Structures are given as structure tokens and as C-alpha cells.
Chains A and B, each alone.
Chain A
Amino acid sequence: MNAILDEIKKNLIEGRVDSEDEGFEEEMIGQPGVTELVQQALDENVPSADILNQALTGGMEEVGRRYESGMYLIPDMLASAECVAKATKILEPHLKSSEIQKQEKFLIATVEDDLHDIGKNIVATILQGSGFEVRDLGTSVSTSKIVEAVKESKAKFLGLSALLTSTMPHMKKVIDLLKKEGIRDQVVVCIGGAPVTDAFASKIGADLYGEDAFDAIDKLAKLSS
């Protein structure tokens, strides 16, 4: 493998987005990270498809293997997923249309009156790293604003998060409004959050419940296959 591709892969496995990232070793700070190296590779005319397939996909496969074996933990996975998401943005304009895997649009929001964003942010990052085009609507997003965003973006997926039992009912309100607007069948509604359960998802008519980010990815993959 080209030396710079090897370097990109190594930094992706380290989860270093840019030169300010520490990775596992403090002495790495100041050295170029994935985004700088991807730009450097493009400047050196390394084929964009090679960067994508050999460095990014290859790196993420290794991260997946390490996670499966228990060597890597959730924060490691998150850091590498963030590298892929940022690098893909840089690569996009340089990839031929045939090389670009069509990214599915995924809207994500924490429902009305709920200001918690941790779970949502983790899921958004992992989804980006897994090839989704994620649009984060933020926290305490009103039901009408969520449905309006679904209409306007024509997103195939909608992720709703809630941490409070008092805000969970807003998930049902979103689904009800999607039905009322006649667009329920156009979007896969995924829900998650600490008090949310599979039974609650069935009860309110959601399509998918993700226990955590990785569970959501697995279920989305099954849904797509």
C-alpha cells in the first residue's frame, strides 16, 4: 500500500481526526491526522477511490475487528467513525459518481421538551461513519418542525431520541403527525433513549428500536438487506 494510504489507515485506527487529536499517545499531537493526510494524498494525486477503499474502508474494517475482539471500546469506535465521516466530506467532490455509494439521508432529533443530546450525538456520529448522510435537527425539536424536515428533505430515515419518560409521548405525536400528513410510509422511524423499549416502539408504531448506536446500525443493515 502507498505510504500515505498506510498513514491514513494508521491514524484512522488511532481515531485521530486532525493534528490536534491525541490518539492513544500524547506525542502524536501536532502530527497530521486523517483529514490533513487525506488532503495531502489528494494533492499528491493519489486516486480518491484508493483513499476510500484501501485507507478508510480498510481502516474501519480493522477497527471493527478490534472492537469485536474486545481490544477496542466504544470511544475508540466513535473516534474512528468520526474520522471516516470527516474524511468522506473531503473526498466526495473528487470521487467519480460510480465510486460514490449512494448515502441514505438520516434525520435525527431529540423530541420536544427534552434537552438531552448525548445518545443522539453518539448515534449521529456512528451513523455518519457508517455511510449515512446525517442531518442533526438538535434537541427539544417540536413535532411540527420534525415532520416539516422529513417533508422537505425526503429523508428515508428518521431517528428520535428521548431520555425522559415525560417526553417519550412526543415520539408518538411525531408518528401521528407523519400519518396525518400522509408521509408515514415514506420514512423509517427509529427510536431510542434510556427509558425507551422495544415494547414502547411497537406500541407507538415505530419501525425500529435501537438499544444503542451499534444495535441501531445492525438493525438498519438488516432492514436494508
Chain B
Amino acid sequence: MNDALQDKKMSEGFALKRHALLSGQECQEIHAGSCRLLEEVGVEVTLKEAVDYFQRGGAVYSEGRIKISREMIEKAVQQTAKTIFLGAKNPENAIHIETDKPTVFLGTGGQALYVLHYEDGGYRKKPAESRDLIAILRLCEHLDNVDFITRPVEPDVPDEEMDLTKTRIFMANTTKHMNLANLIFAERLPEIIQTVQDKSQISFISCVLVSPLRLAGSTLEKFIRIVEMDIPVSISSCPQAGLTAPLSEVGELIQVNAEVLSAVVLANLVRPGAKVLYRGIPITSNLHLDVSPRWCQPDAIRRIALVSDMTHYYGIPCCGTAAVSDEKEPNPQTVAEKTLSYAVEMASGAQFINSALGMLEQVMTVCPEQYIIDDLVIKRIKKLFSESPQYDLKVLACSAVKETLKGFGIQMSSQMEDDISNRMDFILSGMEDYSPENMTANVDLIAQAIESGKSSSKFMKTSRRGLRKGWLFCGQSFEGQLDLTEVHHLKNEILE
């Protein structure tokens, strides 16, 4: 921590022992695979400004693709800022991310389209509006386990007004760090900074990558502007295994790593020492049913934690993802899958865990009650980690599910306990080998998929054997009714 920050009282975050799922050797193999992918296949770039940056840095541009050498990648990793200060209106809420410390901070997330309102004993789903954003910010201001705010829903204003309206709503309703997530117009950036006055209080997320291996034009320009202004930004890539990436976790990890690294290189070409966070979200697809994304199933929870291992291997700040439930409403299944996700992602050592509260139905919906439920769940998990600093992750996660459900009036049956135990075994074990041969096979598959021009068909067709090997977890869904009396009461107390 630099001298200027030492005297300031800041949010301490939550420190815990890190539980790595990948060995150093496995991380090294993934890195080698990603480098080969970027050297031989490259990343598609259409924005001339970005192409110029890459070429000046020594990359080769051919047929619309930028090919980046391993040397360039490793230089950029080395240059990337290893500590990031995220200010806040209330200095006590400021966050200091240090990559050599396993301290985690949890915050909200999403660009949810809908808000689930609890009315007359049931939930009603309505399109998100500006007043929902205000209500969620006010609610989260009171929740102890929300360390920062990532924009949960957008205000319902025209695009031209979006950036400044959002900033003003944030300024008026939160004293925590403001992760504004996306920027609609790059030219609004100076006005946003003028509005917040202290630019350390804001950060962004840039969904700059379209899988497989494409840096998106319009978002890329905004990304460059943010980096130029020295504002922290998370580089987001969210491939969906079986659709936009191989179903194999090895293949998906090689790809997501290559994707994020390509933007890390660009960021450091724009501004050496760029304040970027690595945000890889390798989720999976429900290939059994409707190809919808799976965010909170054991396969996805495991893969997201593997990304955290890669960030620790590189020493780059990690913007993690946790607890984006696949369920549509708060229920026992929501609580169970979220609890497992928190435990695993926190243990992975991801420093800045985004999307951690309130989210349901993949990333489509948020719910005020769910923010409070999640806050209570995080509190309980932190307590368990504190009680056993040398924790066994499976034991801790299984106990956490049991205790959190009990807190909402649900007694787990032995069948439920078995299912949770199976989920944790799946998360902790892995089913694939990290041999150089498997790396090569996956790099070749990604290359062929891109070359075919129909990558989704290729990834889907080649997922068939993996599906039969059980690479997507199949479990049961917990039924029942949560006792949310206290939660409803708390929500009304805060918001009325």
C-alpha cells in the first residue's frame, strides 16, 4: 500500500486462506495454450485505432486478426497494475485491491432487465426503472456485506441521458465505491468525472470481448478512452461452453484466458501500468434442455473459480463473479446454489467479487428481498471462514448450505445433503486432464471453429462426447418455501 493510503481508514474486506483448484503447472499449461492461440489464431479486431496500437506494439495484423506474441503478452502482464485503489464518497468504504493479498470484497452486479417485487404474498416481475435503481442503492447502503456497487439495473432514460443520469443517481444514493459498469458514450466521460469530482470513486466494466476471440468495435473505443483516463476497468469475457467456447473446461479456460489477455495487452499499449481487472466468466450452456446459460451450477462455479487461479498465477487483480442464480425466484435452491458459489469464489481469492448480491434468473432479474437474503448468507459464510481459518472447503461449504437454509426455516433432508455433497465433489475434483496433448486438441478445436465461420455449430457438435462423460452436472432442485418474514420486514424498514 502506498504511503498516501496508509493513514486512511478504509474497508478492510474479508481476508481468508486461498484454496487453489489448479496447480502452478496446470496454470502454466493453460497460459501456454492461450499464448499459442493468440500467436497462431489471433483475435479479430475491426477498430483501426486498436489495430494501430497493436501494430505499434509489435503485433502482426493479417486478414482482420491481430496475432500477439508470447513476449508481448508476458510484458503486458508484468506491466499491469498490481494494486488498485477504489475510492468512495465515504472514505471508510474505499477499497484497496492488492494482488498479493487474498482479501475479498463483494458487491452487486448485473444489467438486469427486470425487478421482482414482492406484493400481496407473491412475486411480480416488472421491467426495471430508474426508481428501482434508487431503491436498490438505498437498500445496499444499509447492507454490511455489500462492499461496492456495480450498477444493478439501468435507469429508464434515453441512451443519450443514460451515463449522466446513472452517475447522478449513484452520487445521491450511495457512499460506497461506484462501479458504473458500462459506458454508453465515450464523450460523456469528462462530464461523468466532473460530476463525481474524485475519479477514484468510479470504475467500469468493459464487455469488450465477443467469444470466440473477437474484440468488439464500439465497446473497444470506450475501453481505450477509459484506460487513457487512468480509471480502473474490468475486462469482461463471458464465453458459454458448448456454444461460444469448447464444452471442455480446459478448452474454455484457454479461450477465456486468451480473450482477456488480448485486452490486457491492448490496455498496456494504451497506458503502460493500466489499472485493469481480469474478469473472465466461463459459464456453461444447458445443452440438455434449451441452451440457456448456466451460471450457478457446479460446472460453472468451478470454471469461474479456475479463472481466479489464473489471475493469481499472473498477479493481475481479479474481478470475480459469484451467486448469479439460475432460479427465477428466491427459494431453497437459490439459497443452496448461491451459498456454494460464495464459498468457492471467496476461497478462490478473487479480490473484487461482482454480481454477488440480488441476482436471479441468470442475469435477467434482481429482487430487493434477494439482496437481503444474500447479505445474510455472506455474513454466515464469513463467520464460518473466520471460525476455521484452516478450513476444508467441502466441509465448510456443505455446513454453510445447511446453516443458511436452516436460517430460512428449511431442514435439509439426507437426499439434499447428498446432492450438496455431490455438487462440491464435482466443483473440487474436475474431470479433465491438463496434459499438453489436451491443450493442443483444444487449441486446434478453437482454431477450427473460428475458421469454419460457424463456431457455435462446431462447439455444439463437438460437445456431444463431453456431455455423455458428465461434464455438465446433473443434480436435483430443492423444493420448499423459505421463511422470509425477517427479510420482508427489513426491506420495508429500510425502504419506507
Contact of B488 with A by CB under 8 A: no
A121 lies within 8 A of B464 (CB): no
**A78: which B residues are within 8 A, CB to CB?**
457, 460-461
What does the 1/0 interface line of B210-251 toward A look like (CB < 8 Å)? 100010100000000000000000000000101110000000
Query: How far, in whole Å, are A115 and B224 apart by their CA atoms in the complex?
Result: 20
Chain A nearest CB from B111 CB (Å) reads: 9
B457 cross-chain contacts in A, Cβ below 8 A: 78, 82, 121-122, 125
**Binding-face segment, A69-77, A94-102, A148-156, A217-225:** A69-77
| A75 close to B464 (CB less than 8 A) | yes
Please tell me if A42 contacts chain B, counting CB pairs below 8 Å: no
B216: A residues at CB distance < 8 A: 115
Contact A118 B456 (CB under 8 A): yes
Instruction: Evaluate contact between B288 and A73: CB separation under 8 angstroms.
Output: yes
B454 within 8 A of A: yes
Smallest beta-carbon distance A150→chain B, Å: 24
Taking a contact as CB atoms closer than 8 A, the residue among B291, B467, B468 that contacts A212 in the complex is B291
Cβ–Cβ contact B210 & A115, under 8 A: yes
Q: Which residues of A contact B447 (CB under 8 A)?
A: none
Asked if B456 and A24 sit within 8 Å, CB to CB, the answer is: no
User: Does A165 sit within 8 A of B, measured CB to CB?
Assistant: yes
Q: Tell me the bound Cα distance from A82 to B462 in angstroms.
A: 13
Q: Is A36 part of the contact surface with B, judged by Cβ < 8 Å?
A: no
B456 interface neighbour in A115, A122, A165, Cβ under 8 Å:
A122
Q: Is the CB of B456 within 8 A of A73?
A: no
> Which chain A residues lie closer than 8 Å to B468 at the CB level?
24
1/0 contact trace for B456-478 toward A, CB 8 Å?
A: 11001111110110000000000
Q: Is the CB of B244 within 8 A of A74?
A: no
Partner of A74, one of B159, B210, B214, B287: B287
Q: Answer yes or no: B376 CB below 8 A from chain A CBs.
A: no
Whose C-beta in chain B lies nearest to the C-beta of A212?
B290
In whole angstroms, what is the CA distance A82 to B458 when docked?
11
Which residues in A have their C-beta under 8 angstroms from that of B289? 74
CA distance in complex: A116, B468 (Å): 28
Residues B461 and A75 in contact, CB atoms below 8 Å apart: yes
A166 at the interface (CB under 8 A from B): yes
Is A117 part of the contact surface with B, judged by Cβ < 8 Å? Answer: yes
A225 vs chain B, min Cβ distance (A): 24
B113 interfacial by beta-carbon distance below 8 Å: yes
B287 A24 Cβ-Cβ under 8 A? no
Which residue of chain B lies nearest to A21 when distances are taken between CB atoms in the complex? B461
Q: Write out, one digit per residue, whether chain B residues 191-226 have a CB within 8 A of any chain A CB (1) or not (0).
A: 000000000000000000010001010000000000
**B461 nearest CB neighbor, chain A only:** A79
B residues in contact with A22, CB < 8 Å = 462, 465
- In this complex, the interface size class of chain B, counting residues with CB under 8 Å from chain A, is 20 to 34
Contact B464–A76 (Cβ < 8 Å)? yes
Asked whether A159 is an interface residue with its Cβ less than 8 Å from the other chain, the reply is: no
Query: Does A30 have its Cβ within 8 Å of any Cβ on chain B?
Result: no
Compute how far the CA of A143 lies from the CA of B244 in the bound complex, rounded to whole angstroms.
26
A47 within 8 A of B: no
Say whether A118 contacts B210, CB under 8 Å.
no
Q: How far does the alpha carbon of A78 sit from the alpha carbon of B287 in the complex, in Å?
A: 11
Question: Chain A nearest CB: distance from B125 CB in Å?
Answer: 11
B241, chain A: closest CB distance, angstroms: 12
Contact of A73 with B467 at beta-carbon distance under 8 Å, contacts A115-B210, A118-B243, A121-B454 already known: yes
- Residue A193 is within 8 A (CB to CB) of chain B in the complex: no
Contact B463 A75 (CB under 8 A): yes
Note all chain A residues with C-beta closer than 8 A to B460.
74-75, 78-79, 122
B244: which A residues are within 8 A, CB to CB? 118
Are A195 and B464 neighbours in the complex by a CB distance under 8 Å?
no
A73 CA / B461 CA spacing, docked (Å): 11
- Check if A15 is an interface residue, CB within 8 A of chain B: yes
> B288 contacts which chain A residues (CB < 8 A)?
73-74
Which among A78, A116, A212 has the greatest number of chain B C-beta atoms within 10 A?
A: A78
Write the nearest CB–CB distance from A15 to chain B, whole angstroms. Answer: 7
Q: Which residues of A contact B467 (CB under 8 A)?
A: 73, 75
| Chain B proximity mask over A161-197: 1 for CB below 8 Å, otherwise 0 | 0000110000000000000000000000000000100
A and B contact pairs by CB, cutoff 8 A, 24 listed: A21-B461, A22-B465, A24-B465, A73-B288, A73-B464, A73-B467, A74-B287, A74-B288, A74-B289, A74-B290, A75-B242, A75-B460, A75-B461, A75-B464, A75-B467, A76-B464, A78-B461, A79-B464, A115-B210, A118-B456, A121-B457, A122-B457, A211-B290, A212-B290
B interface residues with partner A (beta carbon < 8 Å): 113, 159, 210, 214, 216, 240, 242-244, 287-291, 364, 454, 456-457, 460-465, 467-468
10 more contacts with CB within 8 A, not counting A21-B461, A22-B465, A212-B291, are A15-B464, A24-B468, A26-B465, A73-B287, A74-B287, A75-B287, A75-B460, A79-B461, A118-B243, A121-B456
